[in-house]
């Protein structure tokens, strides 16, 4: 899920950052360049100046922890949104994880919460359909539990040249997951099953 990368980069520091200490200015500029990644440590190798340029240029070497999940990996996340099209999950530092309806347990249904914008909870109707409709649902996805999902695909969309004003922020990586397998979904579903097995 996480990779440690050693990167060497030629970094141009714009003039408006030159009033800061060099280490602080370099770190600030690297954080804007390497979006959604964690920098661990870095070192300045060479400082360069080019005639006619008000900026200073540095050769820097640094380590990044890069989040890059692989297909088939099992990850635990929290529910961010639930609507008619599926689930959106979050890892805290990364929110572009989607589980579409066709990758949810079947049969499942969406139950809208009144007076909200297309928000609600998902219910997995496991077992006899008549019993599932008559009693309080046991298998609910409502955000109260962490959710285990399996990575189904990882997409790196191309950066748009223009973005409409009211569109959501650009996501450099989008993960599609599934919970339609044994052991996946809210962790409480399977903790209960484990307790029943131990009692037998």
8 Å CB contact between 193 and 119: no
For residue 187, what are the domain limits? 73-196
The SS3 call for residue 148 is strand
- 132 in the same domain as 95: yes
117: CB partners within 8 A, 6+ apart: none
The SS3 call for residue 191 is helix
Number of domains making up the chain:
2
pTM beyond 0.85: no
| Backbone phi, psi, residue 156, to 5° | -115, 90
- Mean pLDDT for 85-112 is 90
Domain boundary among 42, 67, 92: 67
Instruction: Annotate 152-165 with b (16+ C-beta within 10 A) or e (fewer).
Output: beeeeeeeeeeeee
Sign of CA dihedral 47, 49, 50, 54: positive
- pLDDT class of 76 with cuts at 50, 70, 90: very high
- Alpha-carbon span 83 to 121, nearest angstrom: 7
- Mean pLDDT for 4-31 is 85
Listed range (87-101, 110-124, 173-187) with the worst mean pLDDT: 110-124
* 22-52 per-position pLDDT tens digit: 888 888 888 888 765 555 666 666 666 667 6
- 134 in the same domain as 35: no
Q: What is the CATH number of the domain that holds 58?
A: 3.30.1490.120
- 99 in the same domain as 56: no
- 168 in the same domain as 96: yes
* 133-156 per-position pLDDT tens digit: 555 667 888 888 899 999 999 999
- 77 in the same domain as 54: no
- 99 in the same domain as 175: yes
- 181 in the same domain as 118: yes
């Amino acid at each position: 899920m996480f990779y440690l990368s050693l990167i060497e980069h030629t970094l141009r520091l714009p003039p408006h950052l030159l009033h800061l200490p060099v280490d602080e200015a370099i770190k600030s500029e690297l954080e804007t360049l390497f979006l959604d990644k964690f920098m661990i440590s870095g070192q300045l190798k060479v400082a360069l100046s080019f005639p006619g340029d008000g900026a200073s240029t540095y050769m820097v070497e640094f380590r990044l922890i890069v989040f890059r999940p692989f297909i088939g990996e099992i990850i635990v996340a929290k529910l961010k949104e639930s609507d008619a099209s599926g689930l959106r999950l979050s890892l805290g530092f990364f929110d572009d994880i989607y589980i579409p309806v066709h990758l949810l347990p079947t049969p499942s249904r969406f139950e809208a919460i009144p007076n909200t914008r297309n928000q609600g909870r998902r219910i997995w109707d496991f077992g006899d359909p008549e019993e599932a409709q008559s009693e309080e649902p046991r298998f609910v996805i409502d955000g109260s539990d962490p959710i285990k999902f399996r990575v189904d695909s990882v997409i790196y969309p191309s950066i748009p040249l223009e973005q409409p004003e009211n569109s959501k922020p650009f996501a450099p990586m989008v993960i599609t997951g599934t919970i339609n397998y044994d052991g996946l979904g809210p962790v409480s579903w399977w903790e209960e099953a484990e307790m029943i097995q131990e009692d037998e």
